[in-house]
């Protein structure tokens, strides 16, 4: 009490001594500090009693020692404090990542250090440890794991499947053992080997298809070849025709014209007819050969079946039937039973004969492909090309020029013939599908007797002072001289890559049959 009385006296004296406001305030502050200090001394005096002193007023109650003023300490109602010099450490504190036992449970940073999968690596969000396990739920994923092909970062380096996707040669194709990409480069160290490379002859699988040098790539470059089919002295083989690997022609080696056949694959020649009369102008389709035959005193048509080994008389009319052509089950020819030459057809499957033309003019030299028959026709006063569609039963005039168009041949939608409109015979073509006519040859010499197969047209050509065989490739737009011998080469026929022809190069006044094989 004595101290408080002294303070009041001092305060009264200061109010009287200091007139200015700021001096008064300063004095008040000093007095307050003095009062606070006195109160702290009083509290300390009460808590720092002797050992066993219960403290409190009148000696009752328990003493609370809380040096860090966090409400926790020895004897404090809220509980003990494992570090009474750190207000962040007590039994009510939350554990944080600071290397200290914040909640006084004897554990440090519990709940903050993770190795869930027990692989020895703590997670990226761990408080301590390695802190580099990018997937702490998978023991196979950690910084020392091996990268495998699974679209996952196994070794926690931020890369996926690294070192397992290969395109070493940078050709755009990944190797067979690659984790991703095309996985079809059978040699990833050679840029010229991949699935789109061209196969070459090098004993290597260049295009990665599992085959080496396939496609006969190592075969010598194709060189067109020429082959002499007949070699009989004083024989006159004429009018060759070809189908597949069989060539047929007429041959007078026996004193009359017989039909002969040569098998290209077997290398064998076979006499087809043995009758002593004349057999001429053969044609062949599949295993059937047809020809005109005068054994009955007039020319009839006969057929030989190679497979069955049987000969069949096709026509029985007493007048002449000439120039047969065959396709499938159908045979066509020119026939003068009506007092003029008409075109007739015989269907082997149906066993029926049909008159195709009824015009009183002459119709000559028919050819057939599928259900179309073509011929040359004199009804307009000059030779023109006509066509008959068997299925539709319709006749169509193909050429309208007033010059002479002769010797038609047909393959698919294309008809070819020799044409005199330019003052010499040229080769022309008509495309049925497009409805267009095209001049094939422009040379001023004579081009005659055309034949067509696919995109290739062949003919005999007099531009070199003798007749040679020439060919035009419709797809390439190129003309090629086939024969170069100075003798006469005539009457070509074509099937696939093979051209057959009459050739007089061996002298003696008789031709031979030759075959010329083109490169595919």
Residue 242, Cβ density class (10 Å: 0-12 exposed, 13-18 middle, ≥19 buried): buried
Q: Nearest-CA neighbor of 128 among 168, 154, 97?
A: 97
Q: How far is the CA of 169 from the CAs of 65, 173, 207, 343, in angstroms? A: 78, 9, 15, 69
Q: Which helix (H) or strand (E) holds 160?
A: none
Neighbouring-strand partners of residue 459: 470
CA-to-CA distance for 43 and 164, rounded, in angstroms?
76
Which pLDDT does position 122 carry in this prediction?
A: 82
pLDDT tens sequence for the chain (520 residues): 444 444 455 445 544 554 445 445 555 555 665 555 444 444 333 333 333 333 333 334 568 999 988 889 988 999 898 998 998 899 888 878 777 888 899 888 777 767 788 888 887 777 777 878 888 889 899 998 988 888 798 989 998 877 776 788 899 998 878 887 788 889 989 999 999 999 999 999 999 999 999 988 888 888 899 999 999 877 899 999 999 999 999 999 999 999 999 999 999 999 999 999 999 999 999 999 999 999 999 999 999 999 999 999 999 999 999 999 999 999 999 999 999 999 999 999 999 999 999 999 999 999 999 999 999 999 999 999 999 999 999 999 999 999 999 999 999 999 999 999 999 999 999 999 999 999 999 999 999 999 999 999 999 999 999 999 999 999 999 999 999 999 999 999 999 999 999 999 998 778 999 999 999 8
Q: Which helix (H) or strand (E) holds 26?
A: helix 21-47
Contact 250, 282 (CB under 8 A): yes
Q: Which helix (H) or strand (E) holds 337?
A: none
CA-to-CA distance for 520 and 518, rounded, in angstroms?
6
Which pLDDT does position 339 carry in this prediction?
A: 96
Strands of 372-461 (E only): list them.
Answer: 372-377, 384-389, 394-397, 405-411, 414-419, 426-431, 436-439, 447-453, 456-461
Which pLDDT does position 32 carry in this prediction?
A: 60
Which pLDDT does position 205 carry in this prediction?
A: 94
CA-to-CA distance for 494 and 234, rounded, in angstroms?
26
Which pLDDT does position 471 carry in this prediction?
A: 98
CA-to-CA distance for 399 and 57, rounded, in angstroms?
141
Count other C-beta atoms under 10 Å from residue 57's C-beta: 7
Which pLDDT does position 398 carry in this prediction?
A: 98
Q: Which helix (H) or strand (E) holds 17?
A: helix 2-17
Q: 254: which DSSP letter?
A: T
Q: Which helix (H) or strand (E) holds 263?
A: strand 258-263
> Helices 21-47 and 2-17, interaxial angle, to 10°?
170
- Phi/psi at 34 (nearest 5 deg)? -65, -40
Q: How far is the CA of 477 from the CAs of 47, 417, 451, 457, 472, in angstroms? A: 121, 18, 17, 11, 7
Q: Show the tokens assigned to 366.
A: 């028919």
Alpha carbon 155 to its chain centroid, in Å, reads: 39
Write the class of the CATH domain 225-517: mainly beta
CA-to-CA distance for 329 and 348, rounded, in angstroms?
5
Q: 76: which DSSP letter?
A: -
The vertex-310 CA angle with 249 and 333, nearest 5°, equals: 50
Which pLDDT does position 380 carry in this prediction?
A: 96
Neighbouring-strand partners of residue 452: 457
Which pLDDT does position 45 carry in this prediction?
A: 37
Domain boundary assignment for the chain:
225-517
Which pLDDT does position 12 carry in this prediction?
A: 53
Q: Which helix (H) or strand (E) holds 28?
A: helix 21-47
CA-to-CA distance for 35 and 30, rounded, in angstroms?
9
- Phi/psi at 515 (nearest 5 deg)? -125, 135
Q: What is the CA radius of gyration of the chain?
A: 57
SS3 346: strand
CA-to-CA distance for 384 and 406, rounded, in angstroms?
7
Which pLDDT does position 456 carry in this prediction?
A: 98
């Amino acid at each position: 009490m004595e101290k408080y009385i002294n303070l009041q006296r001092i305060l009264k004296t200061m109010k009287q001594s200091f007139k200015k406001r700021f001096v008064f305030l300063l004095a008040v502050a000093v007095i307050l500090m003095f009062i606070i200090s006195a109160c702290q001394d009083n509290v300390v005096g009460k808590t720092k009693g002797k050992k066993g002193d219960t403290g409190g007023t009148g000696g009752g109650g328990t003493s609370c020692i809380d040096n860090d003023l966090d409400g926790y300490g020895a004897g404090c109602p809220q509980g003990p404090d494992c570090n009474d010099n750190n207000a962040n450490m007590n039994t009510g504190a939350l554990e944080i990542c600071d290397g200290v036992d914040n909640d006084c449970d004897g554990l440090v940073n519990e709940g903050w250090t993770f190795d869930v999968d027990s692989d020895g690596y703590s997670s990226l969000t761990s408080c301590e440890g390695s802190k580099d396990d990018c997937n702490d739920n998978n023991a196979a994923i950690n910084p020392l794991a091996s990268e495998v092909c699974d679209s996952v970062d196994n070794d926690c380096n931020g890369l996926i499947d690294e070192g397992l996707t290969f395109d070493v040669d940078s050709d755009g194709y990944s190797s067979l053992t690659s984790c991703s990409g095309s996985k079809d480069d059978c040699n990833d160290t050679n840029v010229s080997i991949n699935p789109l490379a061209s196969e070459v002859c090098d004993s290597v699988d260049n295009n990665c298809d599992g085959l080496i040098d396939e496609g006969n790539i190592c075969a010598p470059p194709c060189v067109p070849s020429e082959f002499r089919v007949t070699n009989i002295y004083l024989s006159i083989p004429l009018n060759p025709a070809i189908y597949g690997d069989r060539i047929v022609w007429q041959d007078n080696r026996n004193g009359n014209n017989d039909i002969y056949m040569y098998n290209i694959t077997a290398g064998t020649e076979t006499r087809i007819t043995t009758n002593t009369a004349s057999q001429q102008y053969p044609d062949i389709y599949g295993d059937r050969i047809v020809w005109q035959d005068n054994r009955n005193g007039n020319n009839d048509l006969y057929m030989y079946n190679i497979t069955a080994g049987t000969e069949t008389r096709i026509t029985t009319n007493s007048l002449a039937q000439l120039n047969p052509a065959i396709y499938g089950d159908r045979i066509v020819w020119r026939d003068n039973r009506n007092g003029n030459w008409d075109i007739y057809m015989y269907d082997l499957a149906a066993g029926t004969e049909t008159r195709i033309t009824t015009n009183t003019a002459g119709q000559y030299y028919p050819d057939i492909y599928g259900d179309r028959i073509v011929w040359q026709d004199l009804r307009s006063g000059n030779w023109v090309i006509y066509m008959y569609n068997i299925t539709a039963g319709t006749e169509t005039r193909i050429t309208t020029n007033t010059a002479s168009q002769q010797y038609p041949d047909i393959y698919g939608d294309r008809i070819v013939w020799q044409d005199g409109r330019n003052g010499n015979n040229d080769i022309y073509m008509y495309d049925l599908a497009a409805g267009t006519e095209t001049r094939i040859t422009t040379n001023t010499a004579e081009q005659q007797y055309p034949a067509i197969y696919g995109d290739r047209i062949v003919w005999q050509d007099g531009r070199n002072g003798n007749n040679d065989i020439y060919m035009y490739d419709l797809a390439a737009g190129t003309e090629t001289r086939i024969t170069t011998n100075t003798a006469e080469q005539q009457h070509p026929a074509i099937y696939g890559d093979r051209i057959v022809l009459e050739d007089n190069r061996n002298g003696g006044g008789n031709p031979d049959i030759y075959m010329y094989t083109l490169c595919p």
